Amino acid sequence: MNSSERTKILKKIKLPDIFIKKGGLAYYLVKEKDLIILVGVYVDSNMDKESFFIQYFIQPMFVLFPTYVFSIGHRVGGYWSIQDIKKIENELSNITELKSFDDIKKILETTFGESENLYKHQFLGYIYVLLNEVELAKIELQKVIKQKSNDNPQWKVEEIKRVEDFLLLLNTSDYIMVKNKLIEWQAITMRNLTLS
């Protein structure tokens, strides 16, 4: 299934007015302190050309990443086909609008609390920083560094190094520099996702 087919499917799905549709993505942004978290619904391809997946996810723009990340979210239902639009709309009707970073923090702590995902630890750690819960941020970001090993692939080495550098910056207690680093990463992520 190509991108134009995914776009056509998403156009047929009725979503709450808060969502902006762009290609196979419908999203809205939660903004605080010049920083942005994307809440999205994505029509995702499947090996079978006649079916697709629907991903509901939350992605902070301030965690440097080159693509959409579905690890903080869930797949809505299973395999869908074009005939399932009404069923999809019914499934998506339960989406509760997230209005603040605090709302998102609660989801990360509860729904994804047991996850040992590097991405989740960064997301929650940076949210703690932005909500002035610096000691909790340090604990969460240390969980990323603990996954350091000689066997790490290059992308993981770079991710861990970024977190180590961020923790050093955080220890300086220069909140302006800390926030500017998150804004810098956000600009790159938004360019990567063509949202800027």
- The 3-state DSSP class for residue 196 equals coil
Q: Same domain, yes or no, for 88 and 36?
A: yes
What's this model's pTM, rounded to 2 decimal places?
Answer: 0.91
Beta-bridge partner residues of 26? 21, 41
Last residue of a domain, one of 92, 121, 136: 92
Q: Which residue range forms the structural domain that includes residue 38?
A: 3-92
pLDDT at residue 128 greater than cutoff 90: yes
List, for residues 53-100, the tens digit of each pLDDT value. 999 999 999 999 999 999 899 999 888 999 999 999 999 988 889 999
Q: Same domain, yes or no, for 37 and 110?
A: no
Q: Same domain, yes or no, for 57 and 111?
A: no
Q: How many domains does the chain have?
A: 2
pLDDT at residue 188 greater than cutoff 90: yes
Question: Residue 64's pLDDT is what?
Answer: 92
113 confidence band (pLDDT: 50, 70, 90): low
Question: Residue 119's pLDDT is what?
Answer: 87
Q: Same domain, yes or no, for 53 and 80?
A: yes
Q: Same domain, yes or no, for 45 and 75?
A: yes
Phi, psi of 152 (to 5 degrees): -60, 140
- Quote the percentage of the chain above a pLDDT of 70: 97
The candidate with the shortest Cα–Cα distance to 89, out of 71, 77, 99, 98, is 77
Question: Residue 27's pLDDT is what?
Answer: 96
List, for residues 11-45, the tens digit of each pLDDT value. 999 998 899 999 999 999 999 989 999 999 999 98
CB 183 within 8 A of CB 62: yes
Least confident of 55-69, 103-117, 167-181: 103-117
Q: Same domain, yes or no, for 80 and 116?
A: no
Only one residue has tokens 């991903």, namely: 55
